[in-house]
Amino acid sequence: MRISKYKQLAASCLLAFSCSACAQTEHSFEVSKNLDIFNSLYRELDALYVDTIDAKKVIGVGIDAMLSNLDPYTEYYSEDDMGDLKIMTTGKYGGIGSLIRMRKDSTIIIGEPYEGMPAAEAGLKVGDVIVKVDNKEVTKSMVTSDVSDMLRGEPGTTFVLTVKRPGEKKNREFKITRKNIKLPAITYTGVRDGIGYINLTQFTEGCSKEIRKSVINLKEKGAEGLVLDLRNNGGGLLSEAVDIVNLFVPKGLKIVETKGKVKSANAVYKTKSEPLDTVIPVAVLVNGNTASAAEIVSGSLQDLDRATVIGVKTFGKGLVQTPRDLPYNGSVKLTTSKYYIPSGRCIQAIDYKKKRDGVKTEKSDTLDNVFYTRKGRVVRDGGGIMPDIVIKHDTLPNILFYLGNDDVLVDWGTKYEQSHKTIAPVADFSITDDDFADFKKMIKDSNFKYDRMSEKRLEDLKKMAKFEGYYDDAKSEFDALEAKLVHNIDNDLELHKKNIKKMMADEIIKRYYYQSGSVEESLKDDEDLSKAIEVLKKK
């Protein structure tokens, strides 16, 4: 009887193994078959198609189409694009250290120089129109990436940049030496009401050491609590995230575990060093653009009951990418695993496999499975990190979006800068009513236009009412509502004066005090920071 049972068990195991082997063989056959089809198809096209085919372009389109069916984080980098991957992982590149942008007239201008970088040191200003890089003219057919490629190069190389400064007839020439540009991971630190503040923008190589130095410095200045601002931080290196958490929790704790299809993708990341401070109260600020490594830090500190998380629900990117070398000096950054933070939860919001299969997948406001923090508090998975304290914010008016992307704000800022050699420190600076009146006049003179969503919705409603036969009976009501919603730029500017003034202040401050000044200005009326300070001061 027992022998019969063992035989049945052995037969079942053998059958399962056989089925698995068959499935693997079938999968391998499908891969070989389809690669053969693709290869043969391209050879036929190359040999017989009526026009000559650009192999790099056509196969590049095929690669992009294949990867677009996966997730947005799996990307191919050709030899020409490897610099972008390097910038992403290290934050470094050889160039002038400035953002550039395109105006409506298709000219390319200096958008925002970085402090201490070649562009700023040479004297380039926001609004300078780029005319030539060495002897190569910048034409209106070029896009920003074309000009960016011209400005980048090996550190130490020198070129002449010709620009046209607004209000000047003669072009200016600047001799600029490219240097190794490292984008700042920490843009601003400071102390307010006895609470230290650190703004971390990205998880690049070495940022954990910068955080360590900043914490020590803030404590020396009297900080008795700490706010780590991870809002709009899209992530970066996982190892740096673990090292930052390690600053505040003991050695030997599991911070994140990765699980993938292959063994090499599975790993457990623990704190390896003695912590810097396990006592100082910590708050972490997050928003909908807090993602990946930033979610590991905020989620791990929450799971370990080491910090209070404040803001709105994070993005929900629980996927890990690994660069893999490809032939001819290319690379692919592909998703190899999901990460799980100390409570055991994965915060990935979108199931891309379901999306490929045509199943609707959306991030929801209610998260799924229940998990528990070290002290037994309930946390959930499946859609980002839900803050311990949620701060609801008013939606920014539509007009601010259009003003932020219009040339008129840059032009007004340039005009202001040209008439003010210096301005007050950030803490004391403010936009006056006269400044606002001057900006209003410039807006109206520039024939600034923007879409009003209320007008669009009303027009859609009218079309639907006509289609369904209700319009004639409700025409008087529609006419009355249309009269109320008439476009009035004066009223709209006055209605949103406070927010517009903040936007104007940021445009000016970044020209004098760069990125750190811009962050400091944004914190003046920051609800999240105010709440964090209030919480941290409760002993």
Catalytic residues: 292, 303, 317
The pair of structure tokens assigned to 352 is 């891309």
Query: Which residues lie below 8 Å from residue 119, measured CB to CB, with a gap of 6+?
Result: 96, 97, 98, 110, 113, 176
H/E stretch holding 198: strand 195-200
Query: Which residues lie below 8 Å from residue 1, measured CB to CB, with a gap of 6+?
Result: none
Query: Which residues lie below 8 Å from residue 178, measured CB to CB, with a gap of 6+?
Result: 94, 95, 96, 118, 152, 153, 154, 155, 156, 157, 158, 159
Return d(Cα 125, Cα 43) in angstroms, integer: 52
The CB density around residue 340, as the number of other CB atoms within 10 Å, is: 22
Return d(Cα 115, Cα 516) in angstroms, integer: 9
The CB density around residue 376, as the number of other CB atoms within 10 Å, is: 7
Q: How many Cα atoms occupy the beta-carbon half-sphere of 495 within 13 Å?
A: 11
Rg of the Cα atoms in the chain: 28
Please report the DSSP string for 404-462 in residue order.
HTSHHHHHHHHHHHHT-S----GGG----HHHHHHHHHHHHHTT-----HHHHHHHHHH
Return d(Cα 184, Cα 114) in angstroms, integer: 9
Return d(Cα 234, Cα 387) in angstroms, integer: 17
Select from 103, 131, 145 the least CA-distant residue to 409: 103
Query: Which residues lie below 8 Å from residue 361, measured CB to CB, with a gap of 6+?
Result: 350, 351, 352, 354, 355
Return d(Cα 275, Cα 464) in angstroms, integer: 63
The CB density around residue 424, as the number of other CB atoms within 10 Å, is: 10
Identify the DSSP state of 80.
G
- Identity of residue 435: D
Identify the DSSP state of 236.
B
The CB density around residue 410, as the number of other CB atoms within 10 Å, is: 18
Return d(Cα 81, Cα 77) in angstroms, integer: 5
Return d(Cα 281, Cα 219) in angstroms, integer: 12
Return d(Cα 322, Cα 238) in angstroms, integer: 11
Return d(Cα 98, Cα 126) in angstroms, integer: 9
